[in-house]
Amino acid sequence: MSEALQLSKEKLIKDLHQGIADSEEMLKLTADEVSAGAVQLRARVRERMEKAKAELTHLQQITVEKAKAAGHATDVYVHENPWKSVGIAAGVGLVVGMLISRR
């Protein structure tokens, strides 16, 4: 998984947490509203928040599992091919060094 994709997922998770927190705060602030519409709206928001929390937890679990699997696969590859891994790392370092030195 690319680092940019991982950062994007982490930002999405953070944004979802913030959205849920904001919704919970809104529910607390409007708790005094007793009109039928407000009661129904709070019920719908609360239901959607619970669903979002469950989906967010599931997404976090999947992300952690994929990161662990990628780390394990990398570890196995490096142990099975140590010299090839050193060569790849040296090549990547050389390319990054050349790109940095151009600036």
Q: What is the count of structural domains for the chain?
A: 1
Q: Is the pLDDT of residue 1 over 70?
A: no
Reported as a single tens digit per residue, the pLDDT across 40-96 is: 777 777 788 788 778 888 888 888 898 899 999 988 988 898 898 889 989 999 999
Which residue range is the domain that position 65 belongs to?
3-102
The tokens for 38 are 């407000």
Q: Is the dihedral of CA 17, 23, 26, 30 positive or negative?
A: negative
Q: Is the pLDDT of residue 29 over 90?
A: no
- State which amino acid sits at residue 72: H
pTM: 0.50
The tokens for 49 are 């928040």
Instruction: Confirm if 47 and 40 have CB atoms less than 8 A apart.
Output: no
Instruction: Confirm if 17 and 56 have CB atoms less than 8 A apart.
Output: yes
